[in-house]
Structures are given as structure tokens and as C-alpha cells.
A and B are shown apart, each in its own frame.
Chain A
Amino acid sequence: MSTIPDHGDAGGFRLSQLIYDTRYRSITFQVIAVFVLGYCLYQLYGNARQNFADADLNISWLFLWEPAGYDINQRPIEYNSQSTHLRASTVGAINTIIVAVLACISATVIGVFAGVLRLSNNWIVSKLMSAYVEAFRNVPVLIWILIIFLAMSNAFPQPRSFRGENPDSEMWLGMFAFTNRGVYVPSFINEAGSGIFWAVCLLSIVGVFAYRRYAKKLLYDTGRLLPIGWPSLAILIVPGLVVYFLLGQPVGLESPELKGFNFSGGVHLRLSLIALWFALAIYTGAFIAENVRAGIQAVSKGQTEAAASLGLRPGRIMNLVVLPQALRVIIPPLISQYLNITKNSSLAIAVGYMDITGTLGGITLNQTGRAIECVLLLMLFYLCVSLLISFFMNIYNNAMKLKER
């Protein structure tokens, strides 16, 4: 640009320069864009104000502090029908996060499993996995959620079939009951000293990581190879067991028991949660399987061969050479799959799981009629969750990324 003689200065400023001179043109366009955009927004705002005045509506957030007046069947925090709409929304938000976290973890497990198996040299297994991936990728998640919900509510027995001398159904291991009202699992009973036990368990998990770090450092510094497998297991289990019996078994399990027509005790995971969790996990698992497969295939064959020629065993080739490189390719699409799970969890409304779309965007919206406020809050919530997930996953991604000099 510097080689072009500057005619503009010679003749003073001309209007045509606003379009033909690159120095001014960008400003011209942006000013025009701002004006057009501002005009459109002003029109929309004017319409909205007019419509609001006509319908005698206003924007107010006070409804959030009024009693909600409806029940929520899954309450992770204290809630009753006299609680406020804000509280109801919070319960919904926590329920959203519960199902999203559960589904993310299980989808990753399913996806990695299916993705690796799809590359297996066993013909029938890889074909089976392709069938799974194609079946789930090509049918809408809403249909899968409905199908799985119906399948579960028809396949699982009613609670009353567990009754009597010769019941039709039996609890699995005597602790888990699968009924068409949901799954009952045992819960922990904490007695005196249980805090110490849980603290020790937590510490032993930290201990495992510390030990692995130490072993790695020793390997890099001195070349001595410490065993990893059984010492980690020992660190994980032994201190917990010792403390458990020293303190006189402070933590017990409470199995669900049949009382009357229903189960009591234990934790009741509702069928809507189980179905939504399972459907999201298995649907997104199919997508993650494709990402994993693409990631592993992206590692060039030369890497495997080079590792083999160094004398590494197949397991170590996978762990030390292929996976670290494949992970770099897998993580970015994995982030967007996690985001998809969070967003798809809003389909809970189809099976009656009370997530934030069901409370704030459903019952609260219909009861109070404050559509704009509710939808805006709903969007804000999902936006914040999405941004938080991408923020943390990007940190992880940057940590894993190839450090180029």
C-alpha cells in the first residue's frame, strides 16, 4: 500500500474517498453497519414496546420470589411447593447438571470403547460397532429418548411384582431393584467417625497420583522402573480398609426395601433420569466413537512401527505413543460433544424429567405467563454452562496440546 502515491492529501479530502480510499472505507462501512443494525434493533424494540403496551404487559423479575406452587419429583436440595420460583429454577438447574455430568462420563466410556472396537481386526465386532454408530447417528435423539424411556418402562417390572413369597422379580445382588418407577440403589449411612473414613479415601486417591508421579520422575531421573499396577491398587484400598475396621465400621449401606407397594430406603433414581441419562450417553457415545476412531487413525502408522522397532510391547505402544497423539485430535470434538450433551439434556421435557427447561421454561413459564423473562433466563443459564465447559476444556486442551518451540 505504501507504494501507491497518496493523491488524497494533495487535493484535500473528497467525499468519494469515503468509498474508494481503503483508509476511510472500513470506517464508512462500519458506520453504515451500525446504523442499519441500530435501525433494525430500534424497529424491533419499538414493535415490542407497542405490543407490550397493547397487551398491557411489562417486564418484571419479581415473580421469581413468589411461591412456585408446584412439586418437583427429583429434589437434590430442599424444596417444597411453597418455595419460590427461583428455588424451583435452581432445583431444575442442578437436575440439568446432574444428568449432563452423568451422561458425559458414560458417553465418554461408551464412545472410547466403541471407537476402539470399531478399529478392531475382528470383523464381526467392528461391523457390530459400525451398526451401533450408524443406527444412533442417523436417528433423532428425541426419538431415541422416547424409545428408551418406553422400553424401560415396559421392560422393568412393577414394584408390586417384588412382593410375596415367590416374587416374579428379584433384586439384583439383593441391593438393586429395577422397577418401572425407577432404579433403587443402596445409600450410605454415615455414623460417628465416617468423616475420617471418607477423608482417608480421598487422601488415598491423591496418594495414588502422587505415587505415579514419583515413579515417573524416578524413571526419567535414574531409569529405574517401579511397578505401577499393584502398588496403586494397594494405596487405593488398604488405608481405607484399615481405617474402616479400626473405627468400627462407621459407614454402612442401606439397601432399599419393599414397604407396602413401593420401595423405601436407599436412593431412588427415577426412570426419567435413568432413561434420559442412558439415551444421551448411548446417542452421544456413537458420535464420540467416530471422533475416537478418527483420532486413532490420524496417528500415522510410522509412529506405531517406530515404537515397535524400539521394542515396545503393544500395550505400551498404545499408552505411550498412539493415545497421547490421538488425544490431541480427539479432545476438541469431544468438547463440542459435551456441549451437545448439555444442550440435548433440555429434551428432558419429553420424558418429564424436571430439569431447568421443565421448571423454569415449562411450569413456571406457563403459570406466571412471564415468557420473555423465563426464556431469557433459560438462555442465560445454558450460555453460562456452555461457556464454562468450553473454558475448562480449553484449559485442558491447551495443557495437552503439542508444545511447539
Chain B
Amino acid sequence: MSEEIRVSETNAATGETVVRVLEGSELEAFLADRAAMQAEQEAREEAAAEKAVAKAAILARLGLTEEELATVLS
């Protein structure tokens, strides 16, 4: 069973709110888009994690702590 996604649109002038449920291709597009955004975010987090590992390795080679590096960069 697919997830139910409701969309409510409120008109500023009238204050009227219309609620509908996403269906068919519109629902598929929403779910695909959300999955793509999540994938993009995971990719960014993965890249950041790899960078953090590389940074830690360099600091270890230099014999510096994060705090010492921050002091150097400040």
C-alpha cells in the first residue's frame, strides 16, 4: 500500500483551504523526488564522512588534535 500524501492549498485573500490527496503520476513524482533528495543528502554526508576520515589521518600524521588545528586556523 502506497503512502498517502495530502496537499492543502490556502488562498490568502479568501482564507479558503482546499485539501486533496496526491494520486497516480503526481504521487509517483513526489515520492521519486523525495527519494532523490534523500539520496543527494546521503551522498553529501558520505563525502563529508570520507573527508573527516582523511582529515583525521592527516592530523594523526602531523601529531595535532582538532583543538590544536582550530587554534592554528583561528
A and B from one assembly? no
A interface, CB within 8 angstroms of B: none
B interface, CB within 8 angstroms of A: none
